[in-house]
Amino acid sequence: MSYVVNVRMFVRVFELRNMSAAARDLRVSAAVASSRIAELEKHLGVRLFNRTTRRLQPTEHGKVFYSGATKILETIEDAEAAVVEITRNPRGSIFVAAPFGVGRQFIAPHVPPFKDQYPEIDVRLRLSDRKVSIAEEGLDVAFVLGHLKDSNLKARMIAECERVLCASPGYIKARGHPTHGSELANRQHDCLQLRFPGAPEFRWLLQGEDGPAGFDVSGPFESDDGDVLTQWALEGRGIVNKPVFEVVEHLKSGALVVVAEATPPVPVQLACLYPHRTFQDPKIRLFIDFMIAKCRMELDQRKLV
């Protein structure tokens, strides 16, 4: 069993190229991680990584071993999943990622009830509005909100979510009420932007008479947390582009007002992504089915009627 543990550590170090990051991911100390790699290298009689001050680079032996190591782990996981399926007693940890808004409103509240129903399953939830890499970050499931692109991942569609451009009455009084997306360009209005390292060039995709069109927008405020943008909008700092479910209560109360009504944002998809083989694991299927049902129920209650 210790050999399998060492192989699992090697795979995470290989994927992350960082001993400390791999150790945190597998919930052990960096010293333990280093010791496991050293044991594996001693067993194989070869060096698996070249160590530099910043990153670990796999050797040719390491690259060759990685291919076989992942197959070893997949075979073990498939065998364990088959046993769990037979016993009907799913167990283990599920690593999940979600955007802040989706995670806080739809996922996090339902994790404890899921745990109550399946006490042998642990859920490790990470929230971030940045784009995540399922493979590099060791995730089993990622909830995403946006325009889905072709990938080697499986996707379960949850719902199509309407978006709105909105601002506070105070902002509108001071800066005017734009009715068209063209009025947002050329610094005519302050647009609150969701940005993070590696984010693409920022454009708002709005629906016009001739179909979707991109509008370049700008403003003095940006953040990698969508909830921060909502708060700034409430404080009259600019116009925000938001899924309806995140701001519906503010719209109903009048704290925020819809603007640029002639060119509303193009709806986005709320979906669940996972690697092809992951869904073979019963606990993953249970979690995804459970959360999709809860998300759809919550979304029905957060529509702007």
State how far the Cα of 6 lies from the Cα of 85, in Å rounded to an integer: 26
Give me the mean pLDDT over the 183-203 stretch: 78
Confidence of residue 198 (pLDDT cuts 50, 70, 90): low
Contact 93, 141 (CB under 8 A): no
For residue 215, pLDDT beyond 80: yes
Which of 93-97, 115-119, 148-152, 202-206 is least confident? 148-152
Q: Find residue 130's DSSP bridge partners.
A: none
pLDDT of residue 121: 93
pLDDT of residue 278: 58
Q: Rounded to the nearest 5 degrees, what angle is found at the Cα of 158, between the Cα atoms of 239 and 225? A: 35
State how far the Cα of 153 lies from the Cα of 140, in Å rounded to an integer: 11
pLDDT of residue 162: 93
Contact 190, 238 (CB under 8 A): yes
Q: In angstroms, what CA-CA distances link 184 with 95, 188, 277? A: 39, 6, 45
pLDDT of residue 2: 84
Chain centroid offset of residue 294 CA: 18
Give me the mean pLDDT over the 135-150 stretch: 83
The share of the chain scoring above pLDDT 90, in percent, equals 52
202 or 27: which leads in pLDDT: 27
pLDDT of residue 199: 59
pLDDT of residue 17: 87
At 179, list the tokens. 């009715």
DSSP symbol at 219 = -
Q: What's the whole-model pTM score? A: 0.67
- Residue-range domains of the chain with CATH: 2-86 (1.10.10.10), 89-160+269-301 (3.40.190.10), 163-266 (3.40.190.290)
